[in-house]
Structure 1
Amino acid sequence: MKITIASRNPKSTKFPVTLEFEGTPSTVTVLDVAKALESKFPKYYPDRQRLTNSDKKVLSIDKTLAESGVQENDIILFKDLGPQIGWRTVFLIEYGGPLVIHPLFYYLSGVFYKGSFEHSPMQKAVYAMVMLHFLKRELETVFVHRFSHGTMPFMNVFKNSAHYWFLSGINLAYWVYGPWYGAGKAAATRSDVWLWGSVAVWAWAEFSNLLNHITLRNLRPPGTRTRAIPYGYGFDLVSCPNYLFETIAWTAVCFLSTSWSAFLFNIVATGQMYVWAVKKHKSYRKDFPDYPRNRKSMFPFIA
């Protein structure tokens, strides 16, 4: 069978090209087409390709051409997504920023604040909470997460990292670890109930978040993009309890530090996670007709 690949770029001089395959639309997969295109143009490895039908609907590499509505002698449209970087690498870079930035501000106070001082119990607790949070995220990236999408455009890593490196990195570290919150300062005074209560809520939320990530991991066999309906702790109420618990964890940091910088980061992060949660919730309901109707996106009984 033959398939013609045309570029969505009208100025392209490499396309259209015609590829030949042994088999039928029912046996040839979109991945076979992507690999054949890579053989002809090594620069365009499968993760760099976006293949669509004549209606510009993206073709899933897990499906056959017939399942994708493509027949012999049809035209498939190609778009170059540009150089790609693995999602796992992206996450390691994103979360690695705060793990480097926070110790710099915490231990080099003489450099950033022009003088040394003793950190208050609040600052020590917040430092431990932030470092453990991002260390947990790094470990989850390596040992827990299974990604449905292998890569993303390389240039996006800078945009994605800015959120963590600046908002939860420089912004949070500079203002929380400053001398105005140092030992003996009124602004840093916390009762034991306030301090340890915040730590307890944070620890519960972080552990709950980990349990949610393990549940999601177990739904996807290694090396697949399989999707299934998640059930269990948190999922009976919302589609994305992992986002809910992360918001609760950072809210505990906010109320312990009382710093506007922590609240700023939490508001921005929660807003972004809510957008993602709504998108995932709609996707679940679209892909699974039997998806529980009583679930909300991220906030139980609300939205």
Structure 2
Amino acid sequence: MAPPITLKVSSRIPKKPIKKLPTSVEVTDKTTVQDVKENLAKRAGGWDPNRFGLYEPEKRKLLKDRRALISQLESIVSGKEILVKDLGPQLSWTTVFLIEYSGPLFIHLLFPFVLRPYLYNLSLPYLPFSKSLPPLTTSQLLASAMIVLHFAKREYETLFIHRFSLATMPMFNIFKNSAHYWILSGVWMAYWIYGPTSPTALETPLTRNLDIVGLVLYLFGEISNFHTHVTLSKLRSPGGTERGIPKGYGFGLVTCPNYMFEMISWVGVLLVTRSGVAMLPFIVTAFVQMYFWAVKKEKALRAEFPKEYRRKRYAILPGIM
């Protein structure tokens, strides 16, 4: 076992120093990034270790792998210094996802089955249950079921499938993240789908055929997306942060087939709702965000596995982008 070394501890933002932050920390060849966080947090007066972001001194890059050995991080060992930043109050990724997905899940139950008479009965607002409001159509009921099941599936995956490399995220980010789901895929989408004048309220032989096609696409996308998430989860041990090269169903076509299959699923919902006003703001926003995530993932895989990884030409949609 190599003798311990002492690292200088500096604030990454000198103008915002962390109170009681130790000026040095001793590490061995078995000390991990998480060990340093816990050491500093304890000595600083009982901080949450996850509030501390550790950065290497040269490129000032965040050390994301909490299980990485400090002794193997050349820039830190050679410079004998580590930078620390207060990332603010933290929430676990599991908690974040559960909160994000719960919004649209409950909204698409409340709007059609509880709030609908109050929201759309404009002719007799003082009689919310007036007979003037037509019942939900098959398409509206189907759309509600599809959206609720989609987010219920996400909640299940959060609890039992996903394995996160980062333990937490800044607590205040949850408001920004939740707005996307609660507003765009929740309130906005629900209001336009379940109204009596919505395209989803029309029932014709054509709409019934679109319902069938949409449901088939939705089921294919959801099942394939779930399969992809299971494949990704197997790349990492429980509680681990290691990365692997994803292979198998869908990965030969694009970098992130889970995003591709999710878009197919939402196209299925679009066919059932037949409402661009309701669906496109969420679909376009989600697609743009997932595309940037996929490109970032492709770059990360190429950098980490330059020889082993088979480069993908397309990040999210084969033949397109």
Tell me if both proteins adopt one fold, taking TM over 0.5 as the criterion: yes
Structure 1 Cα separation of the partners of residues 101 and 120 of structure 2: 25
What is the Cα deviation at residue 73 of structure 1?
A: 8.0
Letter in 2 for 1:276: W
Residue 154 of structure 1 is matched in structure 2 by 171
- 1:37 counterpart residue number: 40
Percent identity, aligned pairs only, is 43
Match of 1:169 among 162, 175, 186: 186
| 2:301 is the counterpart of 1:293 | no
| Correspondences of 1:263-282 after superposition (within 5 Å) | 263-282=280-299
Shift of 1:117: 2.0
TM-score (normalised: structure 2): 0.87
Report if the CA contact (8 A) 2:298-2:312 is conserved: no
Question: What residue number does 2:14 align with?
Answer: 10
**Mapped contact 1:123–1:182 kept (Cα < 8 A):** no
Instruction: Identify unmatched segments of 5+ residues in structure 1.
Output: none
After TM superposition, the structure 1 = structure 2 runs for residues 88-237 of structure 1, keeping only pairs within 5 Å, are 88-107=94-113, 108-114=115-121, 116-181=133-198, 187-189=202-204, 190-237=206-253
- 1: distance between equivalents of 2:156 and 2:31? 38
Q: Is the 8 A contact 1:236 1:295 kept in 2?
A: no
Sort the Cα spacing of 1:73 and 1:231 in 2 relative to 1 into closer, same or farther, 3 A: closer
Instruction: Give the C-alpha shift of residue 109 in structure 1.
Output: 1.5
Partner of 1:257: 273
Deviation of 1:240 (Å): 0.5
Letter in 2 for 1:227: R
Give the secondary-structure state (helix, strand or coil) at the position aligned to 1:219: coil
Shift of 1:85: 0.3
**Change beyond 3 A, Cα 1:20–1:263:** closer
Deviation of residue 45 (structure 1)? 2.7
- State the 1:163 CA deviation: 0.3
Q: 2:68 aligns with which of 57, 63, 68?
A: 63
How many Å separate the matches in 1 of 2:320 and 2:242? 29
Asked if the contact 2:21–2:40 (Cα under 8 Å) also holds between the matched residues in 1, the reply is no
List alignment gaps of at least 5 residues for structure 2. Answer: 122-129
2:211 touches 2:271 (CA, 8 Å); kept in 1? no
Which segment is superposed worse, 90-99 or 106-115?
106-115
**Offset, 1:293:** 2.4
Distance 1:81 1:43 in 2: 15
Contact 2:50 / 2:90 at 8 angstroms: preserved in 1? yes
Question: Aligned-pair distance for 1:246?
Answer: 0.5
CA RMSD of aligned residues (A): 2.1
Shift in Å at residue 43 of structure 1? 4.5
Secondary structure in 2 matching 1:207: helix
Question: 1:261 deviation in Å?
Answer: 1.4
Separation in 2, partners of 1:65, 1:274: 33
Tell me by how many angstroms 1:34 deviates.
1.5
What is the CA–CA distance in structure 2 between the aligned matches of 1:243 and 1:51, rounded to whole Å? 31
- Conserved 8 A contact 1:126-1:256: yes
Cα pair 1:237 1:300 within 8 Å, conserved? yes
Q: Between Structure 1 and Structure 2, how many residues are aligned?
A: 299
